[in-house]
Amino acid sequence: MKIALSTILLTLLFSFLPGRAQTDMSYSESFTLLKSEIAKSDYYLEKKLTQIDQMRKQLDSSNSPVAQFDACKSLFQMYYDLQIDSALKYAEHMLALSETSLKQQPIYRTESMLFIARVYAYTGTYRESKEILDSARIVGAGLADEINLLYFTVRMELYKGLAEYTILASEKKIYKSEINACLDSLLRYTPEQSVWHTIHLANKLKAKKEYDSAIKVLFGAYNRLSLEDREMAHVAFYMSTLFHLKGDLEQEKRFLAVSAITDVKYAVKAYVSLWKLAALLYDEGDIETAYQFVELSLQDATYSGAFRWFQQIIKILPKIYEAYNTKIVQQRNAISSGFLIIACLLAFTILLSLFVVKQYRKLRKTKDQLSVLNDDLTKMNQELNSMSNQLHLSNAELHIANSQMAFSNNELIAMSLLKETYLSKFIDLCSDYIEKLNDYRVNLKRLLKRGMIEKIQRELDSTAYIEKEYKAFLINFDETFLKLYPNFVMEFNNLLPVEERTEVKGALLTTELRIFALIRLGITDSAKISRFLRCSISTIYTYRSKTKNKSICPDQFEGRIQVLDREDLLLSY
């Protein structure tokens, strides 16, 4: 893909500016750092939740209505890109305070309503958001710059959402006009030295198709920021969109990776950069990484309740999943081809062995016949005996090779059947969850048609459905694992003293057994195990360390776990 000369010159120009030690990374460097930060995402989430808990304690201990309002506002901002339903709860709390303790100052109610409108715009409830904005604008005449800034920010987000979902060119044109008007207002109310003033100015230039000027403006803000600044995610994302418009794929991926790194560091669950990067990686043929990124993005969008991004991710998920599934099928076909080659080699070995045996018998017969000849043929007879011994040795070596290949064949067959079992189980689970999501969607749609908003809210606030499905998933996992490794629990207990052994009730594993079941399947990373079992990394470390220390072989414990039930599994096939 051609890269404009002006883009190259701009990149070279700003690469020599000061303050770029942390952000002056190539795409490969930023991609490597992104994967490293994703592995630590649980740590960043725990850190953010700790900050939220501290702010909740501050809210609970405060007696001043103004202090309570400010605490709710801070909690709204913390939850906005983490869990949108929690953000709405605190916005409604702000509204309740503004209508009771703070009703003498209308500005508090205006600000609360704007926060609620922002949540509506973010979750796709555009009509209600517009109604609030229209009423807020009437009441908000002459308000402070901060409120006006919030108003036009929400209004721009509303029309961006409407522009994304409309299919009518006339409506899209109207929405873009509204967005440009909001940008003008935001430039008027945003302080000129702030990063967001730079972002709004760059977006204004982008709307005029002045891409090089917009990149130059954003580079000014980019060079002042580091990966520890929250604004870096926004600046880097808007830079990626500009390089996309210019056709510079390498720079687009680079800035998407930088934006995603900052999102991970701030435990943001409602984001765009990572799944957009996944789409680009899919186009380049990196199917496995694209699948990992888009699956993580879908999980985070579900966690945050970001309906707008959830719908976008769903659009690209099927093609990535199909490509990933195709890759697995190709690998399975390659294994089948390997089996065929091994079978051919085995047949050749057998034929060669028969041939050697036949030749050996002929030589023995010849030896018997030559024994009656005169002494002149004694030397030739000795040479034939030596050749016979060599052939005997070759025959023994071929038998050994045959045994080794037979063992390898059995092991490959067992592994292939395991992969087929896992794939079948995975497809069944995906099919079931897609059907359940559709049933859940239909139920919510039916409630919405009946106007039962409060019931919908209760449904969305409740985690009972998720917990139920998670318990069903664990039961499914336990049954599948014990079917594949029926002797796992017994052999696991054999590694422990009698008083420390674990009993399994029915067909369900304990949390401790699930941890080591995942290790048996090859999942040894504690962060992945903690996400699978929905518990903290420290809990995983505690279980692993405690069990290893009380085992009869602490130094080789986890290594022996990874080969439990292996011989039985091979013999069963």
- pTM comes to 0.55
Mean pLDDT for the stretch of residues 105-131: 90
pLDDT at res. 21: 40
Q: For residues 85 and 79, what is the distance between their CA atoms, to the nearest angstrom? A: 8
pLDDT at 6 over 70: no
Judge residue 358's burial from the number of C-beta atoms within 10 Å of its C-beta, 0-12 exposed, 13-18 middle, 19 or more buried.
exposed
| pLDDT reading at 3 higher than 50 | no
- pLDDT above 70 covers what percent of the chain? 79
pLDDT score, position 55: 93
Which range, 17-31, 204-218, 461-475, 510-524, has the best average confidence (pLDDT)?
204-218
* Integer CA distances (angstroms), 166 to 119, 156, 163, 260, in order: 20, 15, 6, 28
pLDDT in tens, 334-345: 666 667 778 778
pLDDT band at 143 (very low <50, low <70, confident <90, very high): low
Each residue's pLDDT tens digit, 240-277: 999 999 999 999 999 999 999 999 999 998 888 888 88
**Which pLDDT score is estimated for 166?**
80
pLDDT for 328: 64
pLDDT at 422: 57
Report whether 478 contacts 470 (CB < 8 A): no
387-397 confidence digits (pLDDT tens): 767 766 766 66
Distance of CA 532 to the CA centre of its chain: 12
**pLDDT value at position 302?**
86
What local confidence, expressed as pLDDT, does residue 330 receive? 58
pLDDT-based confidence at 76, cuts 50/70/90? very high
pLDDT for the residue numbered 198: 92
Cα separation, 134 vs 90, whole angstroms: 22
With 80 as the cut, is the pLDDT of residue 88 above it? yes
Per-residue pLDDT band at 417 (split at 50, 70, 90): low
**To the nearest whole number, what is the mean pLDDT of the chain?**
81
The span from the CA of 503 to the CA of 212, in Å, is: 67
The reported pLDDT for the residue numbered 428 is 64
Structure tokens at 395: 């025959």
CB burial of residue 304 (10 Å; 0-12, 13-18, 19+): buried
CA–CA gap between residue 467 and residue 474 (Å, rounded): 11
Q: How far apart are CA 437 and CA 424, in angstroms?
A: 20
pLDDT of residue 409: 60
pLDDT of residue 553 exceeding 80: yes
Q: Is the pLDDT of residue 25 over 50?
A: yes
- Other beta carbons less than 10 A from residue 179's beta carbon: 19
**Helix or strand or coil: residue 524?**
coil
Q: Alpha-carbon distance 256 to 274, whole Å?
A: 7
Higher-confidence residue of 336 and 299: namely 299
pLDDT score for 68: 93
Q: Give kind and range of the element (H or E) at residue 367.
A: helix 307-370
Of the segments 14-28, 235-249, 348-362, 394-408, which one has the largest average pLDDT value?
Answer: 235-249
DSSP code of 54?
Answer: H
**Span 532-536, mean pLDDT?**
87
- pLDDT higher than 50, residue 10: no
Q: What is the pLDDT of residue 74?
A: 94
Alpha carbon distances (Å) from 248 to 2, 11, 241, 255: 7, 11, 10, 11
Q: Report pLDDT for 331.
A: 59
Percentage, residues of the chain above pLDDT 90: 27
The beta strands (E) that lie in 398-479 are given as none
445 compared with 90, residue with greater pLDDT = 90
